[in-house]
Amino acid sequence: MSKAKKPAVTIRNPENAIRALEARAEARQAAPAGAASLKARKPAVAQASKAEPARSVTRQRGAWTKAEPYTRKDGTQTRGTTVYLPVVLAERLRRYAFEHDRKQSDIIGEAVAAWLDGHV
């Protein structure tokens, strides 16, 4: 039995890698044939492969921390939490959410609010 080989190269930023490949292809087409073509291609390839600064994110820094809640597109502020459910109950929730075209987090939130309103 042969083992699956790991890839020799890991691409960390696929967008930059694609831009570099496209620049190489353009440089090959634009540069004259022969020994001079290698020197003509290098500046275009080097320019395309330069790392770009990180893009700004739509949410503010710290949106997932306890200090600042995450604001949804509809304006609702939420805070993430982890809920562990028995497998059978998690499957029932998943199916109910799918059948009613709703988010599981919304269903859980409503259920917790209803329970707390009745017990507190």
Residues 74 and 113 in one domain: yes
Mean pLDDT of 15-33: 74
pLDDT digit string (tens) for 30-83?
A: 765 554 555 555 565 556 555 555 555 555 555 555 567 788 888 888 888 899
Residue 2 in any domain: the answer is no
Instruction: Provide the number of structural domains found in the chain.
Output: 2
CATH code at position 98: 1.10.1220
Phi, psi of 14 (to 5 degrees): -60, -30
Question: 21, 15, 25: which is closest to 53 by C-alpha?
Answer: 15
Expressed as residue numbers, the domain containing 99 is 70-119
Residues 78 and 113 in one domain: yes
The confidence score (pLDDT) of residue 32 equals 59
Residue 65 in any domain: the answer is no
Q: How far apart are the C-alpha atoms of 117 and 113, rounded to whole Å?
A: 6
Phi, psi of 70 (to 5 degrees): -85, 135
Residue 108 in any domain: the answer is yes
Residue 61 in any domain: the answer is no
